[in-house]
């Protein structure tokens, strides 16, 4: 745990508070929750303080307030803290507040139950791709992923659909240069990526094989809103070695369901 060199992570890129700057409690809360989400595991108050660059005393006060509100909760007995029950309730309220989202969730459930495969609902968050919800396939060796984790758009099948409305110039501005580099070091050529986007838009689906990792075959189909825009995709995450007939069967099913969820627009 203790590294030799004591590099307290100087806050990442951009405007950071001058030494001895004061911040609002609200902003601290927001930073803290986002830090916790990125970290994806219970943290101790001291580490949170470092992560968000806040004084320890302040952090304790904030954390205690949030604990009392059940927005955070103690995990274990060693001072670790993570999201609390209230968050679950707020989040649930969010995802059910409109009928369209509810239909999407039901479809997700049905697709998962019928096929036994991992199904995801995806979208964008800023200039990254995120899994908004998912149903993991059952069985001991599932391929699964965490909701809320941000991934470079070019790594994903869904990303190729979600960017369909942009022209090349917009795309160049939108996607950070580093995001073309895959985890294994390969680089995706911009021209190829742009061509993929065009193709995906035309055929109304997108597939990637062993792109972000070696063992998955992803297929995505667009959910269109009332104006024909694509903000969400439905997608299957399959083992790469899934045989072709099964794949096309699943793709057809996915496209049909995604079309069923698209709003009026036609």
Q: Which ranges in the chain belong to alpha helices (H)?
A: 25-39, 45-52, 56-68, 85-96, 99-115, 157-162, 168-174, 190-203, 244-261
Whole-number Å distance between alpha carbons of 140 and 20: 51
- Going by C-alpha positions, the residue among 251, 222, 259 that lies closest to residue 124 is 222
Contact between 1 and DNA by CB under 7 A: the answer reads yes
The entry of DNA, a second copy, none that residue 214 binds, CB within 5 to 8 Å by partner kind: none
Nearer to a second copy, 116 or 265 (CB): 116
Phi then psi dihedrals of residue 8, to 5 deg: -70, 125
Phi then psi dihedrals of residue 223, to 5 deg: -105, 120
For the chain, what's the residue count?
266
Q: Which of 49, 52, 53, 83 is close enough to bind a second copy by CB under 8 A?
A: 83
Phi then psi dihedrals of residue 104, to 5 deg: -60, -45
Q: Which of 49, 51, 104, 130 is close enough to bind a second copy by CB under 8 A?
A: 130
- By CB under 8 A, the count of residues binding a second copy is 52
The pattern of x and - marking residues 189 through 218 that bind a second copy according to CB under 8 A reads: ------------------------------
Q: Which of 44, 69, 213, 248 is close enough to bind a second copy by CB under 8 A?
A: 69
Phi then psi dihedrals of residue 72, to 5 deg: -120, 165
Q: Are 143 and 216 in contact (CB under 8 A)?
A: yes
Q: Are 172 and 190 in contact (CB under 8 A)?
A: yes
Contact between 90 and a second copy by CB under 8 A: the answer reads yes
Write out the binding residues for DNA, residues 74-133 only, by CB under 7 A.
Answer: 79
Nearer to DNA, 66 or 134 (CB): 66
End-to-end CA distance of the chain: 57
The entry of a second copy, DNA, none that residue 42 binds, CB within 5 to 8 Å by partner kind: a second copy
The pattern of x and - marking residues 15 through 54 that bind a second copy according to CB under 8 A reads: ---------xxxx-xx--xx-xx--xxx------------
The entry of a second copy, DNA, none that residue 1 binds, CB within 5 to 8 Å by partner kind: DNA
- Report which DSSP code applies to 178: G
Write out the binding residues for DNA, residues 20-49 only, by CB under 7 A.
Answer: 20-26, 28, 44-47
Name the token pair of 89: 């309730």
Site residues, a second copy (CB under 8 A): 13-14, 24-27, 29-30, 33-34, 36-37, 40-42, 62, 65-66, 68-71, 75, 82-98, 106, 109, 113, 125, 130, 132-133, 135, 138, 146-148
């Amino acid at each position: 745990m203790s590294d030799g060199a004591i590099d307290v992570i100087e806050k990442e890129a951009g405007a950071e508070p001058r030494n001895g700057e004061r911040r609002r409690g609200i902003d601290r809360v927001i930073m803290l929750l986002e830090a916790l989400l990125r970290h994806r595991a219970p943290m101790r108050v001291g580490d949170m303080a470092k992560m968000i660059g806040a004084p320890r005393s302040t952090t304790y006060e904030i954390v205690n307030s949030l604990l009392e509100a059940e927005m955070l909760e103690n995990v274990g007995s060693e001072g670790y803290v993570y999201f609390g029950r209230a968050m679950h309730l707020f989040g649930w309220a969010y995802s059910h507040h409109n009928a369209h989202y509810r239909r999407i969730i039901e479809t997700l459930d049905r697709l998962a139950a019928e096929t036994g495969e991992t199904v995801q609902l995806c979208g964008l968050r800023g200039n990254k791709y995120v899994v908004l919800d998912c149903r993991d396939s059952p069985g001991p060796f599932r391929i699964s992923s965490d909701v809320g984790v941000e991934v470079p758009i070019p790594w994903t099948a869904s990303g190729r659909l979600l960017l369909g409305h942009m022209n090349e110039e917009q795309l160049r501005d939108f996607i950070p240069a580093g995001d073309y580099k895959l985890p294994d070091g390969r680089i995706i050529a911009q021209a190829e990526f742009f061509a993929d986007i065009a193709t995906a838009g035309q055929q109304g689906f997108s597939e990637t094989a062993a792109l972000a990792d070696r063992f998955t075959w992803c297929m995505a189909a667009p959910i269109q809103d009332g104006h024909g825009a694509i903000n969400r995709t439905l997608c299957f995450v399959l083992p790469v070695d899934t045989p072709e007939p099964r794949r096309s069967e699943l793709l057809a099913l996915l496209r049909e369901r995604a079309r069923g969820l698209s709003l009026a627009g036609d």
